[in-house]
Amino acid sequence: MKLKELLLSTDFNALVPYLKKEGDLFIRQYREAYDILCHLTPANDSKIKYPKIIVEWHTPDEGFEDEEPYINVHNCEGDLWECNVSKEVVVADNCKLNKEEVVAKILWSCTFYGYTPQTTKEDFENRIEHKMHTLYGLRARRLEQRLYFNYLPGNAKRESIYVKKLSGRDSFSLSSEEWDYCHKRMKKASRIKKKRDRRLKKRIDDLDHKEKYEYLRVKFLGGKGIAWHDMDFIYDGYHMFLTQMETHTYGEMSRVNYVKMLTSYNEQETEKEFIGLQKLVVVCRASSASSLTGKETKEIKDIFKQLVGNAELMFGTIEDDSFGSELHLTILSQTSKKRTTVSDYD
């Protein structure tokens, strides 16, 4: 049976107990991925390199005998979702799993790099391209380049700059030999140069800190309801959790009801997503052609008011044509627990 057929024959609510065992994502995020996969048009078989998703036991490799065996999903993680839904699902004879357990494990594998195309794209930009989003980050990368280029020979500097410009990336890259060369020279540097390097590293750390928090601020600006100084609380030092939510209605239900359905899964979570909050910031993006009506805005605000209880709710809207007729919500929750980093679950 192909993956799409398997998904369509499985009720999502029957998957919930098994998805909770898989962990990593909230149930509502698995629901978004499930709905997208169910409505995707499968890719042409000729474009698929590995036509089968294989579910089987993985035994420990040599040298890792202490590792416990586990069930692994092959030819799914990291592949295009259009290709995955077109693949045949093959379960090994020694895997005594019911249909719901198989689907739950495949869903976990499909969502390893993101539970929607948008989150997958952002994950790629952050992990692979190291994309900078503000002038603070760009300045930090330039200083980092200066720090290491002080120890590189001229030909290596020119090559690294050329590759950086060619790829269009904000950060530079060096070969392992060049890194070793840099670190060796840095160890042998004079006291004056080491003091200079320490000052540079301190400046880079400060700029990276500003990059993280100012990009967080920018995510919530550009529309109505939230002003620049409303986001000053991000520097208060409390624990913050940044996440996203999208509607995937496909004309089968209203956008408001879809948001209501996603938030209702909070009650089934082992560790609830919206609990112990002192502030919740929500910005809702909608296209100009399918803009939020006054009624929709009120109903979505009411949904989140019920979630936060006595905590402060800040709600804003932004016009963004990237999401067609659907809604995209960026959500930042702040708890009363002291912490100095942003926890990002995308």
Residues 6+ apart with CB under 8 A from 232: none
- d(C-alpha 253, C-alpha 325), whole Å: 12
Q: In the prediction, which pLDDT does 344 show? A: 47
The answer to whether the CB of 219 falls within 8 A of the CB of 321 is: no
Tokens of 62: 């040599």
- d(C-alpha 14, C-alpha 6), whole Å: 13
The answer to whether the CB of 108 falls within 8 A of the CB of 24 is: yes
Q: In the prediction, which pLDDT does 346 show? A: 35
C-alpha Rg value of the chain to the nearest Å: 24
The answer to whether the CB of 30 falls within 8 A of the CB of 19 is: yes
Q: In the prediction, which pLDDT does 294 show? A: 93
- Buried/exposed 310-326: b ≥16 CB within 10 Å, e otherwise: ebeebbbbbebeeeeeb
* Residue 244 identity: Q
Q: In the prediction, which pLDDT does 304 show? A: 94
* DSSP bridge partners of 315: 282
The domains located in the chain, with CATH, are: 3-126 (no CATH), 135-218 (no CATH), 228-344 (3.30.1330.20)
In tens digits, the chain (346 residues) has pLDDT values of: 899 999 999 999 999 999 998 878 899 999 999 999 999 898 888 778 888 998 888 877 776 667 777 888 888 888 888 888 899 998 888 888 889 999 999 999 988 888 787 777 776 666 655 678 889 988 998 898 888 888 877 766 666 665 554 455 556 667 788 888 888 999 999 999 999 999 999 999 999 999 989 999 999 998 899 999 999 999 888 889 999 999 999 988 999 999 999 999 988 887 788 888 899 999 999 999 999 999 999 999 999 999 888 899 999 999 999 888 999 999 999 987 776 555 543 3
Q: In the prediction, which pLDDT does 106 show? A: 92
Q: In the prediction, which pLDDT does 112 show? A: 85
Q: In the prediction, which pLDDT does 93 show? A: 84
> How far is CA 146 from each of CA 139, 171, 216, 297, 311, rounded to the nearest angstrom?
11, 12, 27, 48, 45
Q: In the prediction, which pLDDT does 164 show? A: 57
